[in-house]
């Protein structure tokens, strides 16, 4: 077996995690030497006991070869912890993943911000998410999240619509789109960003996978932003990982009467930074507010209707819906419907207070 097959084999074996991987490397120097042991000797060295573990270790080497063969056939790429391209910030966290499987293209040359939050998103929470994500990703800052329903998918869809870069870290194999409701978003990220997992291809999502993968979401990012989270939320697990990893943690404050913000407000009490302006995060990431990326031209979007084009042509800067109605003379009910559709298509972004800004 070669090194990559050994790494894949260990990623398949649920009895071997990052801690035992480190134990193997520190004792043998090279993983190939560990695989020269008989399965019973491997179990003895790792102090793994129990009848259920025996067939796992007996089959481990065979599975490693099979996984790499499948990756090669299906265009799944790999990146191991000892390769030059492995991100230093992820390598330096406690218990880093020793092998990543991925689709798409990895871009660790730009700053990365993790955005997470509850699956049960309020209207105001969605507006704030889109506002922060649109503004921050417009400065060539990548967004890392988990493809979950709610704030994860809102942020990652906003990035795609804004022509930005996003990484989705899965709690399943990279070839398993989960949840299925986000299959279209999964395909879009695969085509324009990256889908990452430390679990081998074909791995089905299990509950324990998701809090475990959250350390990778925070580990890949320079900063973690929590938009909205109740007292018991997976987003708080990511926040705690960020604190453990020494990453700056920003939190959008919420009403003390809003249970969906109870967790985020508690983080502020514990010392998290209050996120009131996306540009503060941009400045911490890159040292200044750089020039924004050039938006798409209206000429590049032939599918625009006449009224949609009229709205965009008159939207030279951020405008309130009433101002748009006065300028375009479109009835407010019709205008509201048009703006909703334009927002869904990524042509405009709505900000708090019914203000709109064009993205093209």
Note the pLDDT tens digit of each residue in 62-84.
Answer: 999 999 999 999 999 999 999 99
DSSP state of 225: E
Distance CA 112, CA 102 (A): 17
Distance CA 351, CA 315 (A): 14
Which whole number is the average pLDDT over 210-214? 93
Is 292:138 a contact under the CB 8 Å cutoff? yes
DSSP state of 256: T
DSSP three-state, residue 222: coil
pLDDT the model gives residue 300: 65
Distance CA 162, CA 137 (A): 7
pLDDT the model gives residue 301: 72
First to last CA, the chain: 52
Q: Where would I find the H helices in the chain?
A: 3-12, 18-28, 31-34, 39-46, 53-74, 88-91, 123-137, 151-161, 183-192, 209-220, 234-245, 262-269, 278-286, 306-313, 321-328, 332-344
Query: How far, rounded to the nearest angstrom, does the alpha carbon of residue 314 sit from its chain's CA centroid?
Result: 35
To the question of pTM greater than 0.75 for the whole model, the response is: yes
Does 224 score more than 60 pLDDT?
A: yes
Q: Which residue has the higher pLDDT, 277 or 345?
A: 277
Chain position carrying tokens 């800004």:
357
Does 298 score more than 70 pLDDT?
A: no
pLDDT the model gives residue 354: 85
Provide the pLDDT confidence category of residue 293 given band limits of 50, 70 and 90. low
Going by C-beta distance under 8 Å and a sequence separation of 6 or more, which residues neighbour residue 177? Answer: 183, 186, 187
How many CB atoms neighbour CB 310 within 10 A?
Answer: 17
Share the mean pLDDT of the chain.
Answer: 92
Provide the pLDDT confidence category of residue 106 given band limits of 50, 70 and 90. very high
Distance CA 107, CA 87 (A): 10
Bridge partners (DSSP) of residue 169 are 196
Q: Which residue has the higher pLDDT, 234 or 102?
A: 102
Does 295 score more than 70 pLDDT?
A: no
Nearest to 169 by CA among 209, 226, 121: 209
pLDDT the model gives residue 265: 95
Query: What are the tokens at 166?
Result: 């996003």
pLDDT the model gives residue 19: 96
Does 303 score more than 80 pLDDT?
A: no
Provide the pLDDT confidence category of residue 360 given band limits of 50, 70 and 90. confident
Helices 262-269 and 234-245 pack at an angle, to 10 degrees, of: 20
pLDDT the model gives residue 290: 65
Is 45:31 a contact under the CB 8 Å cutoff? no
Does 14 score more than 60 pLDDT?
A: yes
pLDDT the model gives residue 289: 67
* DSSP code per residue over 152-190: HHHHHHHHHHTT--EEEE-SS-TTS-SSGGGHHHHHHHH
Chain position carrying tokens 């105001």:
124
pLDDT the model gives residue 97: 97
- Give 171-209 pLDDT, tens digit per residue: 999 999 999 999 999 999 999 999 999 999 999 999 999
Is 263:286 a contact under the CB 8 Å cutoff? no
Q: Which residue has the higher pLDDT, 161 or 295?
A: 161
């Amino acid at each position: 077996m070669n090194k990559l097959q050994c790494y894949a084999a260990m990623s398949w074996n649920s009895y071997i995690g990052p801690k035992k991987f480190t134990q193997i490397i520190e004792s043998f120097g090279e993983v190939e030497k560990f695989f020269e042991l008989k399965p019973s000797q491997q179990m003895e060295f790792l102090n793994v006991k129990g009848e259920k573990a025996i067939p796992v270790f007996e089959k481990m080497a065979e599975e490693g070869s099979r996984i790499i063969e499948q990756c090669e056939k299906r265009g799944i790429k790999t990146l191991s912890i000892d390769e030059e391209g492995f991100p230093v910030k992820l390598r330096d966290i406690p218990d880093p993943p020793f092998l990543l499987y991925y689709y798409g293209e990895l871009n660790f040359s730009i700053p990365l911000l993790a955005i997470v939050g509850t699956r049960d998103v309020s209207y105001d929470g969605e507006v704030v998410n889109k506002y922060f994500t649109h503004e921050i990703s417009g400065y060539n800052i990548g967004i890392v999240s988990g493809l979950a329903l709610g704030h994860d998918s809102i942020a990652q869809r906003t990035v795609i619509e804004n022509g930005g870069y996003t990484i989705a870290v899965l709690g399943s194999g990279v070839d398993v789109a989960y949840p299925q409701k986000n299959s279209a978003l999964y395909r879009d990220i695969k085509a324009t960003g990256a889908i990452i997992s430390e679990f081998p291809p074909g791995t089905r999502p299990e509950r324990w996978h998701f809090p475990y993968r959250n350390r990778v979401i925070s580990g890949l990012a320079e900063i973690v932003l929590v938009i909205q989270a109740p007292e018991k939320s997976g987003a708080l697990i990511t926040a705690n990982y960020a604190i453990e990893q020494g990453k700056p943690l920003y939190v959008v404050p919420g009403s003390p009467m809003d249970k969906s913000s109870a967790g985020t407000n508690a983080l502020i009490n514990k010392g998290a930074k209050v996120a009131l302006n996306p540009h503060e995060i941009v400045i911490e990431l890159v040292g200044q507010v750089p020039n924004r990326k050039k938006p798409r031209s209206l000429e590049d979007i032939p599918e625009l209707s006449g009224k949609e084009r009229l709205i965009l042509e008159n939207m030279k800067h951020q405008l309130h819906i009433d101002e748009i109605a006065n300028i375009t003379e479109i009835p407010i009910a019709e205008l509201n419907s048009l703006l909703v559709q334009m927002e869904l298509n990524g042509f405009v972004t709505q900000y708090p207070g019914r203000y709109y800004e064009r993205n093209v």
